[in-house]
C-alpha cells in the first residue's frame, strides 16, 4: 500500500499544539511543510501509514515518544564562532572585568546549546583570553531540550567542513584530527572536560541549578517562542544572572518589547537593571 505522507491541516493543528505545550515552540501555518518533512523519517521508522496514526501513537506512548517528537521538530542550526563579535566582546570587555574581580570560578550557561559549537567556542574564548596565565575554574553548563543534539555535543567530533571558517591556530590548539580523508576533528579533552551537557527544557518553571551565572548565552532560541514564553524565560534569566553578569541573545532577536529588566551593553548583549 502507498503510504500517505501528506500532513493534513487537522493533524498539523493537533501536533502543533503538542509541540507548543511541551517545548514552547510556536509554529505558524507556513511551517506545515517543515513539520511534515521532519516527521516523515519517524513515521517510516515506526512503519506508520499516515500522520493521523502518528498522532495516535504519540498520545498512546507519550512518555517515550515525546522525546523523539521534540528532537524531530527542533531547529538546531549552529556554528563555531557564530555571531563572532560576541566572542570579541567577551575577550575585550567581559573577561577583563571578571579578571579584575579575581573570581575563583567563572560560571557560564549556554542555554539552547544544540550540537555544542556554541559552548565549545565559549570555552576556547576563555582559554584564549587567559593564555598561559593561571585562570579561575571554568564551569560551563550547556543545556538543550533535544537529546539527539546533546549526544553529538558530548562526543565533540565534527567533520572538517564544520570547521572550514575556523582559524588554523584555533584548530591546532583545541582539536585533535583523526587524519582520515575527509578528516574529522574532536575537541581536546582539556576543553571538553569543562563543559557539563544536560537536558533542560527552558519552559520549566524551576531549573535545577543552585548558583547564579556570570554570563548567560541564549542565542537563536527565543525566536521560536511566543511573547508569553519569552517573558517567563527572561524572568528566569534575571534570577539566574549575577547582578554584574551579562546576557547574550541572537543578533536577530530583540527583548525591548518583552522586558525592561535588562539594559543594552553591546549588540544584543545585556546587563541587569538593578
Ligand atoms: C537554532 S539552535 C541555536 C544554537 C546556538 N545557541 C546558536 O546560536 O548557534 C536552537 C536550539 O534551541 C533548542 N530549544 C528549542 N526549544 C527549547 C526549549 N524549550 N528548551 C531548551 N532548548 C530548546 C533547540 O533544540 C536548538 O538546539
In a 13 Å sphere around the CA of 270, the CA atoms on its Cβ side amount to 26
Residue from 144, 218, 229 whose mutation best tests the ligand 1 pocket (most atoms within 8 A of CB): 144
| Residue closest to 195 by CA, chosen among 99, 109, 79 | 109
- pLDDT grade for 2, boundaries at 50, 70 and 90: low
Same CATH fold assignment for domains 9-73 and 85-272:
no
Mean pLDDT along residues 118-123: 98
> Domain coordinates of the chain in residue numbers?
9-73, 85-272
Q: What is the pLDDT of residue 1?
A: 59
Residues sharing a CB contact under 8 Å with residue 257, sequence separation 6 or more, in sequence order:
227
250 lines ligand 1 (CB under 6 A): yes
- pLDDT value, residue 96: 97
How many whole angstroms from 49 Cα to the centroid of ligand 1? 30
User: What pLDDT is recorded for position 205?
Assistant: 86
Active site (catalytic) residues: 38, 144
Residue whose C-alpha is closest to residue 87's, from 119, 120, 121, 116: 121
Mean pLDDT of 106-111: 98
77 has a pLDDT exceeding 90? yes
Say how far apart CA 196 and CA 68 lie, in whole Å: 22
The tens digit of pLDDT for each residue in 161-191 reads: 999 999 999 999 999 999 898 899 999 999 9
What was the pLDDT predicted at 4? 74
The stretch 237-266 carries a mean pLDDT of: 97
Rounded Cα gap, residues 70 and 61, in angstroms = 14
What average pLDDT does this structure show over 133-141? 97
Residue with cell 542555554: 111
Rounded mean pLDDT of the chain?
96
Question: Does residue 89's CB lie within 6 angstroms of at least one atom of ligand 1?
Answer: no
Give percent of the chain above pLDDT 70. Answer: 99
Number of Cβ within 10 Å of residue 207's Cβ equals 17
Under CATH, which architecture does the 9-73 domain have?
Orthogonal Bundle (1.10)
**Cβ(114) to ligand 1 under 6 A?**
yes
Spatial distance between the Cα atoms of 149 and 108, rounded to a whole number of angstroms: 19
The torsion angle over the Cα atoms of residues 225, 226, 229 and 231, rounded to 10 degrees, is 110
| Cell numbers found for residue 270 | 545585556
CATH 3.40.50.150 correct for 85-272: yes
User: Per residue in 78-107, pLDDT tens?
Assistant: 999 999 999 999 999 999 999 999 999 999
> How many CB atoms neighbour CB 84 within 10 A?
13
Residue of 18, 69, 74, 237 with the most ligand 1 atoms within 8 Å of its CB, for mutation: 74
Of all residues in the chain, the percent with pLDDT exceeding 90 is 96
User: Could you give the angle at the alpha carbon of 123 between the alpha carbons of 150 and 138, nearest 5°?
Assistant: 100
112: cell is 539552547
Amino acid at each position: 500500500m502507498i503510504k500517505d505522507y501528506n500532513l493534513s491541516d487537522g493533524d498539523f493543528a493537533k501536533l502543533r499544539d503538542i509541540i507548543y505545550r511541551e517545548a514552547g515552540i510556536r509554529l505558524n501555518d507556513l511551517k506545515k511543510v517543515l513539520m511534515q518533512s521532519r516527521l516523515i523519517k519517524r513515521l517510516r521508522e515506526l512503519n506508520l501509514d499516515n500522520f493521523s496514526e502518528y498522532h495516535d501513537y504519540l498520545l498512546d506512548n507519550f512518555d517515550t515518544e515525546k522525546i523523539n517528537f521534540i528532537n524531530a521538530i527542533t531547529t538546531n542550526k549552529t556554528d563555531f564562532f557564530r555571531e563572532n563579535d560576541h566572542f570579541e566582546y567577551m575577550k575585550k570587555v567581559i573577561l577583563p572585568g571578571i579578571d579584575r574581580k579575581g573570581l575563583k570560578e567563572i560560571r557560564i550557561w549556554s542555554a539552547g546549546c544544540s550540537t555544542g559549537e556554541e559552548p565549545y567556542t565559549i570555552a576556547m574564548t576563555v582559554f584564549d583570553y587567559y593564555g598561559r596565565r593561571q585562570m579561575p575554574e571554568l564551569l560551563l553548563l550547556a543545556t538543550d531540550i533535544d537529546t539527539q543534539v546533546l549526544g553529538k555535543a558530548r562526543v565533540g567530533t565534527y567533520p572538517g567542513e564544520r570547521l572550514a571558517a575556523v582559524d588554523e591556530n584555533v584548530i591546532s590548539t583545541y582539536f585533535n584530527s583523526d587524519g582520515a580523508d575527509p578528516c574529522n576533528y574532536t575537541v581536546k579533552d582539556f576543553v571538553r572536560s569543562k563543559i557539563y551537557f544536560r537536558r533542560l527544557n527552558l519552559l520549566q518553571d524551576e531549573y535545577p541549578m543552585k548558583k547564579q551565572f556570570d554570563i548567560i548565552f541564549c542565542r537563536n532560541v527565543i525566536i521560536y517562542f511566543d511573547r508569553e514564553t519569552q517573558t517567563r524565560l527572561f524572568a528566569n534569566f534575571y534570577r539566574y544572572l549575577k547582578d554584574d553578569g551579562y546576557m547574550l541573545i541572537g543578533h536577530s532577536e530583540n527583548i525591548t518589547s518583552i522586558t525592561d529588566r535588562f539594559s543594552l551593553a553591546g549588540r544584543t548583549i545585556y546587563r541587569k537593571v538593578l
